[in-house]
Amino acid sequence: MSIVATARTMHRLNRSQWLDADSIRALQTRKLKDLLNHAYATVPYYRTLFDDTGLTPDDIRSPEDLTRLPVTTKATLLDLPPDQIVSSAFPPGSLISETTSGSTGRPFTMRFDKPFQRARNALFMRALTTAGYRLGKRLMLITADAGKPSRRWLGWRYASIEDAPERLLGQLNAFRPNVLYGCMTPLRQLASLIVESGADAHRPGAVISTAEALDDRTRRLLKQAFGADIYDVYGLTEMGLVAWECAQHEGYHLAEDTTIVEFTPTDDGQHHSLVMTNLELMGMPLIRYQTGDLGVPGPTGTCGCGRSLKRLSRVEGRLLDSVLLADGRTISPYRFTLAIEQVPGISRYQVLQDDIDRFVVRAQSDYGDHTETSARLTAIIADLAGPNATVEIRYEDDLDPPAGRKFRVVESRLARTVSA
């Protein structure tokens, strides 16, 4: 990958993060026009989508006009052959395929062009830099990429999300990174080990959490264990980093210079699903793509850091994990977490919806006597899900998912698909 092209992309995105709101909008409008013309001319799926809607790319003159186009779901793309969804503008073999199994269990293959990969790397570097990382500093990454060669010349060292916390602690103390980056679950396990054992642990200058929603309790634990400022980032395997925190910690800045993010009301009108149009991805464009994540808009106006990029307050969970009730109501996962976090003595928990009216709450409790805790948890589920719901409370020491899988605070196991 050309160093010059990489440096140019980083320079471009380092500048555009500071644009004022009008300039960001102008940038989005210009890039959107290029994207739509490209998709219409070279991607059969989008050409058909436009034609069926009676629109041409010229009809979409602003980011707001995008809502005239239908939303595209992953399920739709999964059902189509590659030549329908991949741009014919790229020679076969020039695109890099990345396959994820995802929560649906059906493998989904993205095709990334080289300029997009440079942008994705630059967005990652931008988030690292915001957390205080600089080239030449030591960075330890706890990711699923541990099989990749460590970029030692960069001062980067990979550890595996499947490593036991004791091993991660050894690596942390041996490598002494300036910045620690990792998926939330192994970071939390490492932090628990440090706090509970009182072991000597190296203190990095900053810790960056990714891959799973970071709840307040875990954030406090990380802060306590590492004595560092904690930054969270939000991204998708389909398009890389989408939002990241600055030192103000007042919401996540949306990477509006590379992505148009719509907060689309859900069927019940109470929540917003995140629908995204990636402005960099040309090999396999994603236009009004239903991410399946629920999000809450953040504070408006310019942030204390100087960025005017719009903000996301938090990701509430996945659309699939919103809880569908027998009476047809859906409840955002966040309502369960808000209520349960008020119950004293619970250090960690998970809500599983096994069936339409059957819930299991798995909890780790600091108290020996669970009578009061169980009564409160039962009352919370009854309050949210109705009196007919049955609730089982289980006290468990280890709530972690199998290695390599994401922990979801609220998990609905009802079989259904995400719809627009």
Contacts to Zn ion by CB under 5 A: 246, 248, 303, 305, 307
Residue of 213, 168, 215, 206 lying closest to 187 (CA atoms): 168
Question: What is the identity of the amino acid at 342?
Answer: Q
Q: How far is the CB of 304 from Zn ion (least distance, A)?
A: 6
Residue of 371, 382, 378, 377 lying closest to 342 (CA atoms): 377
Q: How far is the CB of 252 from Zn ion (least distance, A)?
A: 9
Q: Which is nearer to Zn ion, 300 or 342 (CB)?
A: 300
Q: Which is nearer to Zn ion, 37 or 248 (CB)?
A: 248
Task: Read off the tokens for 399.
Answer: 């709530």
36, 57 Cβ separation under 8 angstroms: yes
Q: Which is nearer to Zn ion, 252 or 289 (CB)?
A: 252
Q: Which is nearer to Zn ion, 253 or 288 (CB)?
A: 253
Q: How far is the CB of 245 from Zn ion (least distance, A)?
A: 8
Q: How far is the CB of 248 from Zn ion (least distance, A)?
A: 5
Residue of 75, 32, 70, 79 lying closest to 48 (CA atoms): 70
Q: Which is nearer to Zn ion, 207 or 385 (CB)?
A: 207
Q: How far is the CB of 415 from Zn ion (least distance, A)?
A: 40
Q: Which is nearer to Zn ion, 157 or 314 (CB)?
A: 314
Q: Distance of CA 226 to CAs 42, 46, 177, 260, Å?
A: 49, 47, 12, 35
Q: How far is the CB of 31 from Zn ion (least distance, A)?
A: 22
Burial 269-299 (b: 16+ CB within 10 A, else e): eebbbbbbbbbbbbbbbbbbbbbbbbbbebe
Give CA–CA dist 358/369, Å, rounded.
24
Residue of 396, 364, 361 lying closest to 379 (CA atoms): 361
What residues contact 169, with CB distance under 8 A and at least 6 apart? 190, 193, 194, 199, 201
Q: Which is nearer to Zn ion, 16 or 248 (CB)?
A: 248
Q: How far is the CB of 244 from Zn ion (least distance, A)?
A: 9
